[in-house]
Amino acid sequence: MVRAPACHAGGREFKSRHSRHSRHSKTPRSWSAHVRGNSIILESLLEYFIQIISDVKVKDLVISAIILSISGLIQGYSGFGGGTVSIPILVILFGPIVAVGMITPIYIFGAAAILPNALKSVDWREVIPLSMAGSISVFIGLSFLLNTDPIAIKKIMGLFILLTTSVMMWGRTYKGPRNIFTGVLTGLATGGVTGGTGIPGAPIMVMYYLAAKVAPTVQRANILITGCVFSLCVIIGLAHNEIYSPTIILLILILSPIFMIATRVGQYLFKIAPAEWFKKMAYFLLVIAGVTLLIF
């Protein structure tokens, strides 16, 4: 008796073995093609990276890293001032619009390092009305920033920094009432200046918050949270106007870790360094920043 099914089964077995053998024999070639594909992708990304970074001078990148280290220390220590100190140098290197487009997301990344602690201390009764009103005026200020001569913007930035720094150095603080109405007015003024000059956490807001009779940690938290809200509005406005080119995005990614680390160090120094010493140094740097914008 001829067992055809067995022979048929043998045939199936032969095909199954052959299929398995074929699959195993194709694996090295498939892996090699996969590696070559990844290599091509990496080479393309590297060429793209080099092409983008070639638009930036090494000197400008190094100077930016140094100034952001200093401003990060100030930001972490006091909760404000980081953007104000770094803006002048970045403006000189890249121009007002690009400088604002860079420092604003960098400010957000730096704030993210100390944001969790700030959220525990923030006084929402003061922050919410000020932030909501300021978010509207930020976009009005941005229209001014985007449509005004860059040289004029630099001079306005310098004058504003010197004016507000002088007020703080003389010990002038807000002594009026504190309610929703005054918070809204402060927010409108702060948002307009933030959008119009690109200075995160504008000094108007800082003076208003520092006048509150609350703990320094609460003051710093209020300033930080409001500055983040205004900065997000600035980023949205600039992105809508297609400011963020691949070069700017790459610079942000390179410089943000530097600012974030410096912010952490500044936060640590806040616990051990005397406030009066730091305040004098911060005022000095702010004056230098303002004068720099007026001269160059």
Res 22: pLDDT? 47
Number of residues in the chain? 296
Long-range pairs for 246-253: beta carbons < 8 A, 24 or more residues apart? 246/52, 247/52, 247/53, 247/55, 247/56, 248/98, 248/101, 248/102, 250/49, 250/52, 250/53, 251/56, 251/61, 251/64, 251/102, 252/102, 252/105, 252/106
Q: Reply yes or no on whether the pLDDT at 136 is more than 90.
A: yes
Q: What is the dihedral of CA 39, 47, 95, 141, to 10 degrees?
A: -40
pLDDT in tens, 78-101: 666 677 788 888 988 888 889 999
Q: Reply yes or no on whether the pLDDT at 162 is more than 90.
A: no
In contact, 206 and 80? CB cutoff 8 Å = yes
More confidently predicted of 100 and 22: 100
The CA-atom distances, in angstroms, between 201 and each of 19, 94, 278 are: 68, 21, 18
pLDDT in tens, 264-286: 888 788 777 666 677 777 788 88
pLDDT in tens, 167-188: 777 766 778 888 999 999 999 9
Q: Which amino acid is at 201?
A: G
pTM: 0.74
Res 92: pLDDT? 87
CA distance 217 to 212: 12
CA distance 209 to 219: 6
More confidently predicted of 268 and 128: 128
Q: How confident is the model at residue 10 (pLDDT cuts 50, 70, 90)?
A: very low
Q: Reply yes or no on whether the pLDDT at 222 is more than 80.
A: yes
The residue behind tokens 């095909």 is 15
Domain-by-domain residue ranges, the chain? 1-54, 60-295
Res 143: pLDDT? 92
